[in-house]
Structure 1
Amino acid sequence: MTENDGFGNNLVWLSVLVQRRYAQICADHDLTPVQATLLCVIKDQPQGMGELAQLLGVAKNALSGLVDRIERRGLVQRETLQRDRRAITLSTTALGKEIVDALYADVGRRMPDIAGVLPADERHQLADSVARITARLVASPMPDAAPQGRQRTVAGADHTGK
């Protein structure tokens, strides 16, 4: 086993810890993780449905179903663009913004304690490293996204019908 194998395995387990904690936080806000992620993406700026599908790495028809469910809950709204009636953007409603703001605050409080076993200086180093990694992903989203036609669906991830 090489050093990278151990690092890879540790990253997988860290991912499991993060996903479990995120799923619990989302559930506490009556959201599935994929619903919460969608709300986070459109939190401060409306996005087109095509861009959202690409950012989230999901098929457009699966995204439409997800949007239907959270739209019925009054968390998002669809809008058509004047210049192209086929283009639809998605934004949060006042209720959706309130919920996603509360989710953000809760994530900010509850996620960092995953690194609580580390001394303070190592937590700061980890925070800096994570910030650099995520900044790169935000600059060019989903570098490992599935090619067209092989995108994941979110139906299984959002099976609650919420």
Structure 2
Amino acid sequence: MSDRTDLVDVLARLSFLVQGTLSDLAAEHGLSLAQVRLGGILRDHEPTMNELGQHLGLDKSSVSGLVDRAERRGLVVRRPSTSDRRVVHVIITAEGRALAEQVGAAFADQVETLTANLTATDRRALVRAAGRILIT
């Protein structure tokens, strides 16, 4: 195999492994993968609906449906902007934050297990290399 084929193969397999792990954790908590991503974004931000769409790569109607479902579960609330009444922010609730933190901690544990055979040097190199890919 060529270096290019090896790189494509390993990145694809790694992506499937990480996404599958996160999807399994989401399902264990009765969440979709998109809802897990939503919780992760809202832990640190109070975005507008438009900003959420950009973060998640979803169109307006998909974001509305996602937020509607999360709101029905008591995980988020919508709040009108104080500066522009046409703008709505999405805020995580205490219940939503607790669930996001629980799923995040479980995911961190899974990543720890998946990377257990890497040395500290290998982990640092992986973080640096992945960071450079994500910046582009």
**TM-score clears 0.5:** yes
8 Å CA contact 1:42, 1:91 repeated in 2: yes
Mapped to 2, the partners of 1:2 and 1:128 lie a distance apart of 23
Q: Which amino acid aligns with 2:84?
A: D
Q: CA RMSD in A?
A: 1.8
- Report Cα offsets for 1:74-103 as digits up to 9, x if no partner: 000000113211100001001001111111
Q: Which amino acid aligns with 2:17?
A: L
Task: Number of aligned residue pairs: give it.
Answer: 136
- Report Cα offsets for 1:65-124 as digits up to 9, x if no partner: 011001000000000113211100001001001111111111111123223343443233
- Report Cα offsets for 1:37-73 as digits up to 9, x if no partner: 0110111221011011011111011110011001000
Unpaired stretches in structure 2, ≥5 consecutive residues: none
8 Å CA contact 1:17, 1:114 repeated in 2: no
Higher relative contact order (CA 8 A, sep 6+): 1
8 Å CA contact 1:46, 1:90 repeated in 2: yes
Mapped to 2, the partners of 1:133 and 1:112 lie a distance apart of 21
Q: State percent identity of aligned pairs.
A: 34
Task: Give the drift of 1:133.
Answer: 4.0
Deviates more, 1:32-41 or 1:102-111: 102-111
Other structure's SS at 2:109 match: helix
Matches within 5 A, 1:51-130: 51-130=51-130
Other structure's SS at 2:26 match: helix
Unpaired stretches in structure 1, ≥5 consecutive residues: 138-162
- Hey, which of these two has a bigger chunk of helix by percent? 2
